[in-house]
Amino acid sequence: MSQARQDVVGIGNAIVDVIAHAEDRFLAAQSMAKGAMTLIEAERAEALYARMGPGVEMSGGSAANSMAGLASLGGRAAFIGKVRDDQLGAIFAHDIRAAGVTFRTPPAKAGPQTARCLIFVTPDAQRTMNTYLGASVELGPEDVEEELIAAAQVTYLEGYLWDKPRAKEAFRKAARIAHEAGAKVALTLSDPFCVERHRAEFQELVKGPVDILFANDAEIRALWQVGDFDAALAATKGQVGTAALTRSEKGSVVLAGERIDRVPAEPVERVVDTTGAGDLYAAGFLYGLTNGRPPAEAARIGAIAAAEVVSHVGARPERPLKALVAERLG
Amino acid sequence: MSQARQDVVGIGNAIVDVIAHAEDRFLAAQSMAKGAMTLIEAERAEALYARMGPGVEMSGGSAANSMAGLASLGGRAAFIGKVRDDQLGAIFAHDIRAAGVTFRTPPAKAGPQTARCLIFVTPDAQRTMNTYLGASVELGPEDVEEELIAAAQVTYLEGYLWDKPRAKEAFRKAARIAHEAGAKVALTLSDPFCVERHRAEFQELVKGPVDILFANDAEIRALWQVGDFDAALAATKGQVGTAALTRSEKGSVVLAGERIDRVPAEPVERVVDTTGAGDLYAAGFLYGLTNGRPPAEAARIGAIAAAEVVSHVGARPERPLKALVAERLG
C-alpha cells in the first residue's frame, strides 16, 4: 500500500471524555487525587458517574488530542488507538477523522466498551481525571501499522501506554520501526502518578530510544525524584536529544543538545479548563519541529496551541490553530 | 405508590444532541433548512454525521431541556420520554437525573438506537437541527405514568410528539389525566415546520385541551397562517387561557385572559448558540407560574433562563439558574 508521508503518528489510548463541573469538596469526598489521572475499573466508573453532575461528551485521549491539534495547525497526523465497535467508539472515530487525522485502527468487536475518562473541572479550572481504559487495553503490536510509522518523521507515544502490557509491546514495536526508518521517537510522561508507577523503565526509555521528551514540572521531578524544577532540568540535560518541559503559566524550557531556551506562556484571558494543555503544547512543538522551525519557535507554537485549549471546556481545539498561530507569530 | 408532588411533568422526545460548528455554505450544500428542525432517517443521519466536523455530545430534547431548566430554577420537575438501553441512552438518563429531574421511563430493550439530533451552529449563533428520532418513537401511552401526571400542577407537551402516532396517543392520555386531576396542560408548538405538518390538529388543541401555549414568532404565524406578529397575536387572543409568545431579541408577549404583558429580552453579552432558547424560556415561565408569580414576572424568569442558555454551546443551563434569577430579579 502506498502511503502519504505523515509528519507525526501518535499512539495512545482512544478515549471519550465525560466532562462535568465539580466543587473541591466533591473531589475530597470521592477521595480523588486532584489534578491527577487515576485509572479506575468498570465498577468504580459506574459509581462515580452516578454521582457526577450533568456532563458533556467529547473525544479525548492524550496523544489523540495532540494529533487533532497537529492537524488543526496544518500538519499531517495519524493516530493509532483502540475503540470498541460501540456508540462511543463511533464518536471517537468520527471526531478524529473529522479533525483531519488519519485513523484506521480497527475497532474491537468484543470485550470491554470504549474507554472513557470522567473529568471533573473545579472552579480553579483544574481538571481531575478518572480513566476507565475499557477497549483501549486491547491495543497490541498487531495494531502498529509498519508503513504508517515508517512514513512519519516522528512517532509520538504517551506514557499512559505503559500501564498495560500489550500496549507496551505496541509502544516498543513502534519505536523500533521508527528508528529503523530513520525517524524520531517522542514520549510524553503523561502524569506524575504514571511516572511513579513506571519510573525505572521511563528513565531507561529517556536515556535510550526516546529522542524527544515532553514532561511538565511535576512529571520531570517525579522522573528524577528531585524536589525542584532546576534540579530536574539539570538531571535531564545530556540524557535525551530534545526535552520540552512545561510549567503552566511559567512557560516552558527547551533543552536541545547544549542549548537551553526559555519560552514564556501565551497570555490567556480566562483559563476555563486546563484539560489538554500539555497535549496541545506537544502538538504545537511537534508541528514546529517537523516543519523545520527552531526549538524556541516550536515551543512558542506549543504555547499558543495550549493557550487556545485552556480557554474553553474540552481538550481539543475549537478554533483553527493554523490561523491563530499565523496571527500570533505575525 | 405514593408520589411527591411535582410542579411540572414534561413529555417529549429523549434526544442526545451532537453539536458542531458549520458555515452557511455547508448548510446550503446539504440542502438544510436553516434554523429549522428537520426529521431525518437513519441513513441520512449516517451520511450527514460523516460530513460533520468534530462534535460535542450533550443531552437535549425540547421538553427535557425545559425540565432540566425548571429543576435548575429550584422547581420540581419530571420527564417522560424513551431512550434505548444503549450508551447514548445511559448518557441521557444520567444527565437528566443529575440535573435533578425525576425520570423513570424504562429504556427500550430492542429496536432503533437512542435518538440523536445533529445540530449545526453557524457563525451567527443560529442552530439548524436534524433529528433522527430512533428509540423515542417507541414512546406510547403505556409510558404515561398516571400518578406522576396527576401529581403535577402542569403537564408540558412538545409539539414534536405529534410527528408519531403512538407519541400522539401518549400526549392525549397525559392531557386527559391532567385535566381529570384538575391540573393544567401546556403545549409548545416546537417548530414552524412542525406546525405546517399538523396545523389543523394544533389549532384544535389550542382551542381545546391546551391551557398554556408557547410559540415563537414564526410558529404562531404558521399556526394562524398570517404574515405578521400582531395579526398572530390578535388571532391567538381568546383561543387559549395563557399564551407566551417569544420573539428572540424583541422579548416576549404574554396573553392571559384579557391582559397583555410585553416583557423585554434579557441582555446577553455574546450570543454563542441559540439552541434551547425557547426551551429555557418555557422552563422559566412555567417555574414562575407554578410558583405563584404573575405572568409578566414568569416571562421575565423565562427571559433570564433563555439568556443564560444562548450564551454558551448546548441547550441546558451551565450555571445554576436559581441563583441567577435571584441576582437579576433582586
Mean pLDDT calculated for residue range A156-182: 95
CA-based radius of gyration for chain B: 18
- Which residues in chain B are closer than 8 Å to A20, comparing Cβ atoms? 98
Domains of chain A in sequence order: 6-12+62-104+135-329 (3.40.1190.20)
**C-beta atoms of B55 and A98 within 8 A:** yes
For residue B286, what pLDDT is reported? 98
Helix segments in chain B, DSSP class H: 24-29, 42-51, 62-72, 87-98, 146-150, 165-180, 192-197, 199-207, 217-224, 229-236, 277-290, 295-310, 321-329
pLDDT in tens, A77-101: 999 999 999 999 999 999 999 999 9
Task: Tell me: pLDDT of A5 over 90.
Answer: no
Nearest to A54 among B21, B53, B98 (CB): B98
pLDDT in tens, B228-258: 999 999 999 999 999 999 999 999 999 998 8
**C-beta atoms of A87 and B314 within 8 A:** no
Beta bridge partners of residue B185, listed in sequence order: B155
Beta bridge partners of residue B10, listed in sequence order: B79, B156
Beta bridge partners of residue A21, listed in sequence order: A121
* Angle of helix A295-309 versus helix A277-290 axis, rounded to 10: 150
Nearest to A95 among B21, B54, B99 (CB): B54
Low-confidence ranges of chain B (pLDDT < 50): 1-3
**C-beta atoms of A91 and B57 within 8 A:** yes
pLDDT in tens, B40-71: 999 999 999 999 999 999 999 999 999 999 99
- B212 vs B255: CA distance, rounded Å: 10
Give ipTM to 2 decimals. 0.93
pLDDT in tens, A273-289: 999 999 999 999 999 99
CB contact B1 to A (< 8 Å): no
- B310 vs B124: CA distance, rounded Å: 12
Which one of B65, B95, B316 would you mutate to disrupt binding with A, by most A Cβ within 10 Å of its Cβ? B95
For residue A1, what pLDDT is reported? 36
- A275 vs A311: CA distance, rounded Å: 10
- Of the candidates A100, A116, A110, the one whose C-alpha atom is nearest the C-alpha of residue A55 is A116
Mean pLDDT calculated for residue range A226-243: 97
- A77 vs A308: CA distance, rounded Å: 19
